């Protein structure tokens, strides 16, 4: 994989996580003010869909969703998995692409 592609993927992931952090922060401030809230299922979906880092950082920095059972375990787990996947992509891009291709093939069969 070309280094430009890796940088593009990293930039898109960072941008997406900034958006997810912002949505979690919006929900935190809405909770304080009694305003319109983001559904928990939407927050979980955003984290699972690649925004685990942004969600986890917002949870830790703004103390948001720290007591809710699905968030207490899910966000740190997603953060760890997405961090490992990102490091794998940066340190071994050839193997990461091969693994992604293999997983796509498995999903197509299943």
Task: Please list the pLDDT of the chain residue by residue as tens digits (110 residues).
Answer: 567 887 888 899 999 999 999 999 999 999 999 999 999 999 999 999 999 999 999 999 998 888 888 899 999 999 999 999 989 888 888 898 888 889 899 999 97
pTM to 2 decimals?
A: 0.83
Q: Which two tokens stand for residue 59?
A: 């949870």
Say which residue the tokens 């961090």 belong to. Answer: 83
Q: Which two tokens stand for residue 61?
A: 């920095």
Taking the C-alpha atoms of residue 50 and residue 55, their distance in angstroms, rounded to an integer, is: 10
Whether 75 and 82 have beta carbons less than 8 Å apart is answered as no
Say which residue the tokens 């699972």 belong to. Answer: 48
Query: What are the respective helix, strand and coil percentages of the chain, to the nearest 5?
Result: 85, 0, 15
């Amino acid at each position: 994989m070309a280094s430009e592609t890796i940088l593009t993927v990293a930039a898109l992931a960072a941008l997406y996580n900034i958006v997810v952090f912002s949505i979690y922060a919006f929900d935190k401030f809405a909770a304080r003010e009694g305003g319109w809230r983001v559904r928990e299922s939407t927050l979980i979906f955003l984290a699972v869909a690649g925004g685990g880092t942004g969600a986890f950082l917002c949870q830790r920095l703004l103390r948001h969703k720290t007591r809710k059972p699905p968030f207490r375990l899910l966000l740190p787990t997603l953060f760890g998995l997405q961090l490992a996947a990102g490091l794998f992509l940066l340190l071994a891009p050839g193997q990461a692409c091969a693994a992604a291709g293999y997983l796509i093939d498995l999903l197509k069969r299943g």
